[in-house]
Structure 1
Amino acid sequence: MTFADGPGEHGAAEAHRAAVRGLIDRQPDHLDLLHRVCRAAAGALSACGAGISVMTTDGIRGVSAASDPVSERIEELQFVLGEGPCIDAFAGRQPVLTADLSAAATYQWPVYAPAAQDGGVRAVFAFPLQIGAVRLGVIDIFRDKVGPLTDEELRTALGFAAVTVEALLDRQANGHSRDGTAVLDVGHRAELFQAQGMVMIQLGVSLGEALARMRAYAYAENRRLEDVARDVVNRRLSLDGEKE
Structure 2
Amino acid sequence: MDEPTRAVRRLVAASTQQQRTTGDFLRDVCRTAAQALSASGAGISVMTDDGTRGVCAASDPLSERAEDLQFVMGEGPCIDAFTTRRPVLIADLGGSAVHRRWPSYASAAVQDGVRAVFAFPLQVGAARLGILDVFRQRAGPLTDEELPLALAFADVTVEALLDRQRGAEDGTVTPGREAADVGNRAAVFQAQGMVMIQLSVSLAEALSRMRAYAYAENRPLDDVARDIVTRRLRLEKDSS
Q: Do both share a fold (TM > 0.5)?
A: yes
Cα distance in 1 for residues equivalent to 2:108 and 2:66: 8
Q: Which amino acid aligns with 1:230?
A: R
Q: Which moved more, 1:223-232 or 1:15-24?
A: 15-24
1:51 and 1:67 in contact (8 A); partners too = yes
Per the alignment, residue 74 of structure 2 pairs with: 82
- 3-state DSSP of counterpart to 1:138: strand
Cα distance in 2 for residues equivalent to 1:124 and 1:214: 25
Does residue 224 of structure 1 match 2:216?
Answer: no
Alignment of 1:178-197 (within 5 A): 185-197=181-193
Segments ≥4 residues shifted beyond 6 Å = none
Residue 83 of structure 1, CA deviation: 0.5
1:123 and 1:146 in contact (8 A); partners too = yes
- 3-state DSSP of counterpart to 2:146: helix
2:15 and 2:32 in contact (8 A); partners too = no
Per the alignment, residue 63 of structure 1 pairs with: 55
Q: Which amino acid aligns with 1:117?
A: V
Cα distance in 1 for residues equivalent to 2:50 and 2:42: 23
Alignment of 1:130-141 (within 5 A): 130-141=123-134
1:51 and 1:140 in contact (8 A); partners too = yes
Does residue 205 of structure 1 match 2:201?
Answer: yes
- 3-state DSSP of counterpart to 1:31: helix
Q: Which amino acid aligns with 1:236?
A: R
1:123 and 1:145 in contact (8 A); partners too = yes
Alignment of 1:84-233 (within 5 A): 84-103=76-95, 104-173=97-166, 174=169, 185-233=181-229
Count of residue pairs the alignment pairs up: 226
Q: Which amino acid aligns with 1:154?
A: L
Alignment of 1:5-24 (within 5 A): 5=2, 10=3, 14-23=6-15
Residue 154 of structure 1, CA deviation: 0.6
Identity of aligned residues (%): 66
Query: Unpaired runs of 5+ in structure 1?
Result: 176-182
Residue 17 of structure 1, CA deviation: 2.4
* RMSD between aligned residues: 1.8
2:8 and 2:156 in contact (8 A); partners too = no
Cα distance in 1 for residues equivalent to 2:57 and 2:182: 16
Query: Unpaired runs of 5+ in structure 2?
Result: 171-177
Cα distance in 2 for residues equivalent to 1:63 and 1:40: 18
TM-score w.r.t. length of structure 1: 0.87
- 3-state DSSP of counterpart to 1:71: helix
Per the alignment, residue 33 of structure 1 pairs with: 25
TM-score w.r.t. length of structure 2: 0.88
